Amino acid sequence: MQTADINNNNNDNKNNTLKKDNIEYLEVELLRSFIEDVFIKLNLSHKDAEIIADVLITSDLRGIDTHGVQRLMTYYERITNGIYNPKTKIDIVTESPTTAVIDGNCSMGHVIAYNAMKLAIKKAKKYGMGAVAVRNSTHFGIAGYYSLMAIKEGMIGIVTTNATPAVPPTFGIEPMLGTNPLTAGAPTDDRFPFLIDCATSIIQKGKIELFNRENLYLPEGVVLDHNGNPERDAGKIMKDLRNYQAALMPIGGEGGKASGYKGYGYSTLVEILSSALQEGVCLKETAGIEENGKTYLKVGHFFLAMNVKNFIPLKQFKKNTGKIMRSLRKSKKAPGKKRIYTAGEKEYEAESERKKIGIPVGKSIQNDIKRIQKELKLNKYKFSF
Ligand SMILES: NC(=O)c1ccc[n+]([C@@H]2O[C@H](COP(=O)([O-])OP(=O)(O)OC[C@H]3O[C@@H](n4cnc5c(N)ncnc54)[C@H](O)[C@@H]3O)[C@@H](O)[C@H]2O)c1
């Protein structure tokens, strides 16, 4: 089996995550419409279906193949199995001019997150800052989508979510923390904003799932088994993750060798922001909470919008951030390296490219699409596979 390039760092753009064989390129608007119709058939409102489709399509367009249409089957199964409530209901628990705690009632995470960031932005427009903590939510996809919402309004957007246990603390082997993304972005005067959008573990589950679909091995040092030995087979890791027998290493890796305690510390901060501010589930509780004879997969999130113009004119800020980005990209390259990137750049390039060529889907995602299409009788769609 081939070893996966887990961070695409040897590639010039993000269009190489999937193996080239068996790939079909789907027209963006066709796939968007299909995803919307899937959720409408599952009893979501048109507006909510549009939001989820937009998050998934944005993910695929930006080259984040792990969180786009690849996730459709998971959501489909969770709704049909009654784990997610398709009718999103959001309650405000407490509110002040600049803060709010909201309850998502275990409905659709993307819709809850979209509305939470909208509320944070509304507060930041009026008072300069808006922070919203969310309890009883579910998987919301790419955290960067919600930071981008703030960036589009001339704001800095910071987003966190906790997730099911997969990452042990430094010197531990028991999965306690989720892959806990910490996303932060700011507008620039470049063609694209600064947006660091990633997990606080070396690898997140979506990539392992994708590598399993593609029959790829992981490099050493990324995942350990419950005895602390390296685990590389993506299929076995997927199974072991379900039983909490596989441990994904935090950024920096195992122990203190490459300062893994830094990734562990940032992941803990994500856990605090995503749970402690709203009495939500934390750590192992994200594995599922039993209520009324059902297991609910709950998570919490945190959204912060900071209105730049309350600090400095937006144009000046964009010039400042753009200067930082350009200086970094122009700095001296390491031997053999052709190019330096800034965060958000590869995703911008993937988006420009995929808007033209379409969204690549491998064989196993094609099979997911065919199964859902058949079961929901969405016969009006004609795919080439
Ligand atoms: N909802 C959840 O529970 C959950 C959990 C984990 C991750 N995620 C999402 O998964 C997605 C992927 O996460 P990931 O950890 O696989 O990300 P990743 O390891 O692919 O890193 C992506 C980030 O690194 C930047 N980057 C990549 N190469 C770079 C380079 N050479 N120079 C500068 N910057 C560079 C990108 O611009 C991007 O911001 C994210 O959108 C994240 O929000 C969601």
**How would residue 16 be classed by pLDDT, with cut points 50, 70 and 90?**
very low
Q: By the 8 A CB rule, do 346 and 13 touch?
A: yes
Q: Is 195 in the pocket of ligand 1 (CB under 6 A)?
A: yes
Q: By the 8 A CB rule, do 147 and 196 touch?
A: no
Give 3-state DSSP helix, strand, coil % of the chain, rounded to 5. 40, 20, 40
As a whole number of angstroms, the distance between CA 108 and CA 299 comes to: 11
Element holding 180 (H helix, E strand): none
Q: Is 202 in the pocket of ligand 1 (CB under 6 A)?
A: no
Residue nearest to atom 32 of ligand 1 (CA): 341
Q: Is 346 in the pocket of ligand 1 (CB under 6 A)?
A: yes
Answer whether 0.85 is exceeded by the pTM: yes
pLDDT at 384 over 70: yes
Q: Is 210 in the pocket of ligand 1 (CB under 6 A)?
A: no
Structure tokens at 182: 């910490």
Q: What's the gap in Å between 373 CA and the centre of ligand 1?
A: 30
As a whole number of angstroms, the distance between CA 246 and CA 240 comes to: 5
Structure tokens at 210: 């994708």
Task: For a ligand 1 pocket test, name from 75, 161, 204 the mutation site with the most ligand atoms within 8 angstroms of its C-beta.
Answer: 204
pLDDT at 12 over 60: no
CATH 1.10.1530.10 assigned to domain 10-87+355-385? The reply is yes
**How would residue 13 be classed by pLDDT, with cut points 50, 70 and 90?**
very low
Cα distances from 366 to residues 24, 186, 211, 377, 380, in angstroms, run: 8, 36, 16, 16, 16
Backbone angles phi, psi at 204, to 5 degrees: -110, 165
Q: Is 179 in the pocket of ligand 1 (CB under 6 A)?
A: yes
pLDDT at 209 over 60: yes
Mean pLDDT of 143-149: 99
Length of the chain (residues): 385
pLDDT at 93 over 80: yes
Residue nearest to atom 41 of ligand 1 (CA): 142
**How would residue 10 be classed by pLDDT, with cut points 50, 70 and 90?**
very low
Q: What's the gap in Å between 143 CA and the centre of ligand 1?
A: 9
Measured from the Cα of 199, ligand 1's closest atom is 15
Task: For a ligand 1 pocket test, name from 70, 346, 347, 351 the mutation site with the most ligand atoms within 8 angstroms of its C-beta.
Answer: 346
Mean pLDDT of 332-354: 98
Where do the structural domains in the chain lie, given as residue ranges? 10-87+355-385, 89-202+249-330
The pLDDT > 70 percentage for the chain reads 96
Same fold? 10-87+355-385, 89-202+249-330: no
SS3 annotation, 331-375? CCCCCCCCCCCCCCHHHHHHHHHHHHHCEEECHHHHHHHHHHHHH
- Which class does domain 89-202+249-330 fall in? alpha beta
Q: Which of 68, 129, 74 is nearest to 97 (CA)?
A: 129
